[in-house]
Amino acid sequence: MKTLIDEVKSTFSDDQKIQAMFENCFSNTYETTIRPQDDGTTFVITGDIPAMWLRDSAAQVRPYLMLAENDTKMADLIEGVINKQFACIIHDSYANAFNEEANGKRYHDDKTEMTSLLWERKYEIDSLCYPIQLAYLFWKSTGRTTQFNQVFREAVTKIIETWEIEQNHGKNSNYQFERDNCPPQDTLSHDGKGAPVGFTGMTWSGFRPSDDACEYGYLIPSNMFAVVVLKQLAEIADEIIGDKELAKTVVDLANEIDQGIQKFGKVDHPMYGTIYAYETDGLGNYNLMDDANVPSLLALPYMGYCSIDDPIYQNTRKFILSEENPYYYHGKVAKGIGSPHTPKNYIWHIALAIQGMTASTSAEKEEILDLFKTTDANTNCMHEGFHVDDPGKFTRPWFSWANSMFSEFILSQCNRVVKGSPLAK
């Protein structure tokens, strides 16, 4: 770790602020959130919450894949994360966050099928995407294939089954989620089943990667992420597992979802032309916005769904980085994408990192770099959201995902990217 930190410091030799921020943020996840288990797996808390989110834990350790290329201890820790994630999915493919042990702790007493291992059971497509992506990138980074074991195969079978069930949520799914005494975005309508949807070929999601409820059940960026990881899974099935039937199954499912995206997920905007919607219900309703949490529309090239210069992506990018996006904020100190998950006029460091990594000009990347330096509230770490006029007002002082995303952006500025990731091409 010290070698890579020193490499970044050398690249930014004239910028002591970036040096200090990177050293603190890059080491934060390793020093504060990783908990090796007696069974060889690795539990990763999200930061100021003691539970492990499938999404966050994958994103938190992702920059460490660069260390795992040559560091056996780090590789073992990440493989432990992968094995823990897939064991959690086998336990419940609809849960987003898990306890370190079956202690019955939970965020809230929700009306859903809880167990003592579950911290929260908000169903989010991306919770199933991230572990597949991490296992794939771990293979590309280290050459290891031991993560593609029986636990992996059992979890993958459950993921495919879940996504196929949720292609026809109204008829086939038993999942429901209701929470009392909460804001509307923390629960699902229609007796916990969510608003009605029509069949599109896409797969339904109850919640966004922000853990907020979807307004319309087909969350476009998460479906795009599913298309990407299903194709990665096909490559694993072909080259490692040697299962042609599995490869065909996941390619067929990816194609069904992608056809749904292309048919139902695009709209013609009067200012920006053809763009991707954030959500739709397949019944003619669309939600035009973007959220700071990844997967997002801004992150499509980062996820690998399309190239940075894709025309529809560029149209969509212009839309979501404009006042037309209801969660784009522009203030005295900063501008960027926020979230309905946080107060109005709060933008997210995660979104800034994604904007920087998907920018097509060095000028925009430099602008993002400067924003990071002036919005950390002199803490040398990243936060969830901060106020566009006063970065001293922020949410979540300890948020490991944001620290990791900042670290990945800084590493990309040093031409260091995760092997196998779209940005490495």
Cβ proximity of 25 and 404 under 8 Å: yes
Dist. CA 117–CA 105, nearest whole Å: 8
| Domain span at 13 | 1-32+327-418
Task: Please state whether beta strands 346-348 and 385-387 pair in parallel, antiparallel, or not at all (unpaired).
Answer: antiparallel
Query: Is 322 part of a structural domain of the chain?
Result: no
Say yes or no: 193 and 291 in one domain: yes
Query: Is 223 part of a structural domain of the chain?
Result: yes
Say yes or no: 99 and 134 in one domain: yes
Query: Is 364 part of a structural domain of the chain?
Result: yes
The pLDDT, as a whole number, for residue 425 is: 65
Say yes or no: 12 and 125 in one domain: no
Output 171-174 pairs: Cβ under 8 A, ≥24 positions apart.
173/204
SS3 207: strand
- The answer, yes or no, to whether the previous bond of 311 is cis (omega within 30 of 0) is no
Residue (of 334, 312, 333, 335) closest to 325 by Cα position: 335
Give the tokens for residue 420.
């196998």
The pLDDT, as a whole number, for residue 405 is: 97
Residue (of 124, 120, 102, 139) closest to 49 by Cα position: 120
Dist. CA 136–CA 249, nearest whole Å: 18
Query: Is 201 part of a structural domain of the chain?
Result: yes
Helix segments in 33-179, DSSP class H: 54-61, 65-68, 72-91, 125-142, 150-165, 169-172
Say yes or no: 182 and 71 in one domain: yes
Query: Is 317 part of a structural domain of the chain?
Result: no
Say yes or no: 48 and 145 in one domain: yes
The pLDDT, as a whole number, for residue 284 is: 97
Say yes or no: 25 and 77 in one domain: no
Query: Is 147 part of a structural domain of the chain?
Result: yes
Taking CA 26 as the corner, what is the angle to CA 304 and CA 357, rounded to the nearest 5 degrees?
30
CATH code for the domain of 225 = 1.50.10.10
SS3 340: coil
The pLDDT, as a whole number, for residue 47 is: 85
**What's the structural domain count of the chain?**
2
Say yes or no: 64 and 148 in one domain: yes
Among residues 267, 282, 312, which one ends one of the domains? 312
Say yes or no: 156 and 63 in one domain: yes
Query: Is 82 part of a structural domain of the chain?
Result: yes
Query: Is 424 part of a structural domain of the chain?
Result: no
Cβ proximity of 348 and 385 under 8 Å: yes
Say yes or no: 388 and 239 in one domain: no
Report the interhelical angle of 244-264 vs 220-236 (nearest 10°): 160
Q: Report the chain (425 residues): mean pLDDT per 10 consecutive residues.
A: 95 97 96 96 93 97 98 98 98 98 97 98 98 98 98 98 98 98 96 98 98 98 98 98 98 98 98 98 98 98 98 98 98 97 97 98 98 97 97 93 97 96 84
Say yes or no: 65 and 185 in one domain: yes
Say yes or no: 11 and 47 in one domain: no
Among residues 281, 312, 343, which one ends one of the domains? 312
Question: Measured on CA atoms in the order 373, 376, 378, 381, is the torsion positive or negative?
Answer: negative
Say yes or no: 226 and 363 in one domain: no
pLDDT by residue (tens digit) across 400-410? Answer: 999 999 999 99
Among residues 252, 279, 312, which one ends one of the domains? 312
Helix segments in 284-391, DSSP class H: 300-303, 311-320, 349-357, 362-374
